[in-house]
Amino acid sequence: MTTGHGSDDVMPELIGIMYTSQKSVALVGAALVATCLAIYIKDGDPVVAVTAALSIIIVAGRVLNSAAYHRAAAEVTTARIARIWEIRYAIGGAAFAAVVGLFAAYVIWSGTPTSQLLAATVMLAYPTGMIARVAVRPAIARLHLALALSPPIVAALSLGTPEHWMLALLFTTYLLAGVEIIRHLASTIADRVHLHQEVTRRATHDDLTGLPNRAHFRARLAEAHRRLERYGTRFAVHAFDLDHFKTVNDTHGHAAGDRVLQQVAERVLATVRSTDVVARLGGDEFAILQFPIGECQEAEILGRRVAAAVSQPLLDKGQRVLVGASVGVTICNHSAGTIDEIMHQADTALYAAKAAGRGRSEVYPQS
C-alpha cells in the first residue's frame, strides 16, 4: 500500500488524462487521411495512397485502444496497471507521429508547393492537440513531437535552398517551443493532480492513522457489492474494535491512545493483502473489506490473524501496553443483503465475539 505522493501515486490519474479525448485522435487522423486523399487525387502518387491506408489502420487501432481503456478505467488503480496502458498509448501515438513526420518529409522532397502546404498544415496542427493531451507524460510527448517534426526538418535541410532552410528553421523553432510547452504543462498538471489527490485524501482518509475513513470504506464496499451482484465475486467484511482501549486512555493519556491506534493500524495493514481495505470508522472502531475471497475459510483465518496480531503487546515510549481486538466477520456471497445489512451482520458477529470473552473473532451465521 503506497502512502506517499510520488509519481506512482498519481500515475493512474495522469494516464487517464492522456485517454480523455477519443474525438481528437479520430479528428487528427481524419485530417491526415483527407490530406493524403486530396494530394493523391491531385498528383496520383501511390505512396500517398499507402500513407492514407496506413493512417486509417493506426487511427482505428488507437480509437479501439482508447475505448478499451475507458471500459477498464475503474480497474486502473495501480501504477503497474497504469504503465501497461501508458505503453499501449505510447506505441499507437508513436506510430501515428512517425507517419505524420515521414509523410511530411516525403511531400517536401517530392511534392508540389500546394501539396507541401497541405502536409505542413497537418504536421503543425498535430502537435498542438498531442501536447495538450500527452504533456502529462513528458517523455512520451517529446518522443511523439520529435517523430513528427524531425523528418521534415531533415528533408527541408537536404534540399538546400534558402526557402527550405527557412522552412527547416520554422519547424525547428516549433519543435523547441513544443518541448518547452511540454515541460511547463507537465509541471503544472502534476502539481494540480497532487493537490487534487491531497484534498481527496483528506476528505476520504483518517488523519491520525492514514487509513480510509467510513465514507471511503462504504464506497469501496459498494464497489465490491456491485461486483458480487454482477460477477459473483465473494468478499468478507470484518468489524473490530479494541478491547480495554478506554483503560489505555485513562492510564496513559489520550496521546498514548492515539499512538496505540497508529500501531494497531500498522499491524493490521501488515496482516492483510494489497487488495484488501482497512479503514478506521471512528474512535477505536475499524473495519476490513477482504476482497476477493475464494473459500469461506479465508475470512475465518483473517479474522483470527487480526485478533492475534492486535493482542500482541505494544510499546509506547518504552512502556508495555496491552489491548485486544474483538472481530466480527460476515461472508458475502449471493445471499448478501444491502450494504447496511452487511455492516449490521459484521457488528452482530463483533458483539458475539465480545460476549464469548473478547480477543477473538466470530463469524456471522450464513443463511
Walk along the chain (367 residues) and give the pLDDT tens digit of each residue. 333 334 567 888 889 888 987 788 888 899 999 999 999 998 888 999 999 999 999 999 999 999 999 999 888 888 899 999 999 999 999 999 999 999 999 999 987 888 888 888 888 888 888 888 898 899 999 999 999 999 999 999 999 899 899 989 999 999 999 999 999 998 888 888 878 877 877 888 999 999 999 999 999 999 999 989 888 889 999 999 999 899 998 888 999 999 999 999 999 999 999 889 999 999 999 999 999 999 889 999 999 999 999 999 888 888 888 899 999 999 998 767 899 999 999 999 999 999 999 989 999 987 6
Q: Of 203, 227, 259, at which residue does a domain stop? A: 203
Statement to judge: residues 185 and 125 lie in one domain: yes
Q: Are residues 17 and 82 in contact, defined by beta-carbon separation less than 8 angstroms? A: no
Q: Which residues, other chains included, contact 311 with Cβ-Cβ below 8 Å and sequence gap of 6+?
A: 322, 323, 324, 325, 359
Closest CA to 94 of 118, 121, 130, 129: 130
Dist CA 84 CA 86 (whole Å): 5
- In a domain? residue 2: no
Contact partners, residue 138, CB within 8 Å, separation at least 6? 182, 183, 186
Residues 350, 274: Cα–Cα separation, whole Å = 24
Dihedral pair phi/psi, residue 320, rounded to 5°: -85, 125
Considering the domain architecture, whether residues 194 and 245 belong to the same structural domain is answered as no
Q: Which one of 203, 229, 262 terminates a domain?
A: 203
The Cα 160–Cα 233 span in angstroms is 67
Ramachandran area for residue 283 (φ above 0: left; ψ -120 to 50: alpha; else beta): left
The CA distance from 93 to 58, in Å, is: 9
Length of the chain: 367
Q: Domain residues for 54?
A: 7-203
> Position 288: which residue type?
I
pTM of the model: 0.62
DSSP, res 273: -
Asked whether residue 193 falls in the same domain as residue 302, the answer is: no
Q: Clarify whether residues 64 and 184 are in a common domain.
A: yes
C-alpha cell at 324: 485486544
Pairing of strands 314-316, 319-321: antiparallel
